[in-house]
Amino acid sequence: MHRRALLAGLLAAPLASAARGRGRPLVAAASDLRYALDAVADAFVAAGGVRPEIVYGASGRFHQQIVRGAPFELYLAADESYVLDLARRGLTVDRGRLYALGRLVLFAPTGSALAVDPRLDGLARALAAGRIRRIAVASPEHAPYGMRAREALRARGLWDGLAGRLVFGASVAEAARYAFAGQVDGGLFALSLALAPPARGRGRHAVVDPRLHSPLRQRMVRLRGASAAAGAFYDFLAGGTARTLLARFGFGLPGE
C-alpha cells in the first residue's frame, strides 16, 4: 500500500509536466470514478474539450499529496471533508461543489455462498456459521468507502468478528478487484464499480442500507493555479451530460 501511494506521488510531477506541455489538465480523482469519469472525459473531448490527464486513487492519499505540493489542477474526492480541508488551507480556488452521492454495496463473487442484502444479514449469518474466510474493503485510513464499510460493519456488530478476515485494498478499486477475481468471499465497495464492465458476470451485489453509514458526499474543486482547460472540464462535470453518465454508474446526483 505504501509503495503504491509513494509511486502515485512520484508520478504526479512528471505527469503534470507532460500534461501541461500538451495543454492537458492534471486531475486527481477518487478511484470509484474510474469508469464513470473516463466516460465523462470522452464526452468532454467529443464536445471539443481538451482531454484531461486523470490519476485515480484513494481520496485521502491525494489529499496528503496536494498538501505536500503535488501539482494537480482538479481534485474529485469521494468524501467532501478532504476538499473542505484544502479550502481552509487556502489551496483551492473556492470550496468547490458537490458532484455526486456515492453508494456502498456488498458484492459476492460467482461461486461464493455469501447472500447479499442491504442490511448485511447474509454476511452476519455466514460469519456466525464460520463460512467467511476473507472480505475485501478499502483501507479506512485513506479511502472514504473503506471508512463507510467500517461504519456499516460496526453498525451491525460485525467489525470485530471480521478481525483477521478483512483484506484491505489501497483504494476502493483495489478492493473491488479482489472480489471480481474471486480471491475473497465478498467485498464492500462502490456501486459504480459493481456496475462497471469488469464486474459483468463476476457476481451479484446489493446496495447497503444508507442508514448504516454516513453519506458519501463527493465534492470536486479547482486547485490554486488551475488552468483554463481545467476550469472548462470542471464546468462540464456540473452539466447535464456528465450528470447523466454519473447516474448511469449508480451515483446519486445533488439536487435530485
When pLDDT is cut at 50, 70 and 90, the band that residue 5 belongs to is very low
Residue 111 domain-assigned (yes or no): yes
Q: Within 22-136, where are the H helices?
A: 34-46, 59-67, 80-88, 121-128
Q: What percent of the chain has pLDDT over 90?
A: 90
Same domain, 16 and 42: yes
Residue 117 domain-assigned (yes or no): yes
Same domain, 68 and 88: yes
Same domain, 63 and 109: no
When pLDDT is cut at 50, 70 and 90, the band that residue 11 belongs to is low
Same domain, 201 and 228: no
State the pLDDT at residue 256.
Answer: 73
Give the Cα separation of 162 and 158 in Å (integer): 6
Q: Let me know: does 109 contact 180? Beta carbons within 8 Å.
A: yes
Give the Cα separation of 246 and 77 in Å (integer): 14
> In terms of C-beta distances under 8 Å and separation of at least 24 residues, what long-range contacts does 113-121 make, across chains too?
113/185, 114/185, 114/186, 116/186, 116/204, 116/205, 116/206, 117/206, 118/206, 118/207, 118/208, 118/209, 119/156, 119/209, 119/212, 120/152, 120/153, 120/156, 120/158, 120/208, 120/212
Same domain, 180 and 109: yes
State the pLDDT at residue 159.
Answer: 98
The one-letter code for the residue type at 154 is: R
C-alpha cell at 213: 453509514
pLDDT tens, residue by residue, 79-100: 999 999 999 999 999 999 999 9
Find the mean pLDDT for residues 154-178: 97
pLDDT tens, residue by residue, 66-81: 999 999 999 999 999 9
State the pLDDT at residue 181.
Answer: 96
Q: What is the CATH number of the domain that holds 137?
A: 3.40.190.10
Residue 10 in this model has a pLDDT that exceeds 90 = no
Structural domain span for residue 143:
102-212
Find the mean pLDDT for residues 187-207: 97
State the pLDDT at residue 22.
Answer: 57
Residue 254 domain-assigned (yes or no): no
Number of structural domains, the chain? 2
